[in-house]
């Protein structure tokens, strides 16, 4: 919840902090990895964002519509790696 709120306020440093805590507390939660990917993407750390997205999928993330419409991933949506993540969900 804290991570989402920080992302909505574009408080990337705070979102980064909260997302890392979220993963430490609940490492198999797909939402934790998804939000971490969103933070990385907004920081321009595309490789890390894709790695976190893959972790989200590995841990049960299945919301393709959300992934494709999330503006945080605008910089990587056309990449081959992002397309692979989407296909791995379908």
The boundaries of the domain holding residue 18 are 2-89
Cβ proximity of 26 and 32 under 8 Å = yes
pLDDT digits (tens, 9 = 90+) for 3-49: 888 888 888 999 999 999 999 999 999 999 999 999 999 999 999 99
42-85 residue pLDDT tens: 999 999 999 999 999 999 999 999 999 999 999 999 999 999 99
The count of other CB atoms within 10 Å of the CB of residue 76 is 21
* CATH value at residue 76: 1.25.40.10
Question: Cα 40–45–46 angle (5° rounding)?
Answer: 95
pTM of the model: 0.91
pLDDT at 4: 87
In the chain, the number of structural domains is 1
With CA atoms as reference, report the closest residue to 2 among 54, 71, 16, 69. 16
């Amino acid at each position: 919840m804290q991570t989402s709120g920080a992302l909505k306020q574009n408080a990337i440093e705070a979102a980064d902090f909260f997302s890392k805590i979220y993963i430490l507390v609940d490492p198999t939660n797909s939402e934790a990895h998804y939000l971490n990917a969103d933070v990385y993407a907004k920081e321009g750390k595309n490789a890390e964002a894709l790695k976190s997205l893959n972790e989200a999928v590995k841990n049960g993330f299945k919301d393709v519509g959300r992934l494709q419409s999330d503006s945080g991933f605008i910089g990587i949506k056309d990449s081959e790696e992002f397309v692979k993540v989407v296909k791995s969900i379908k």
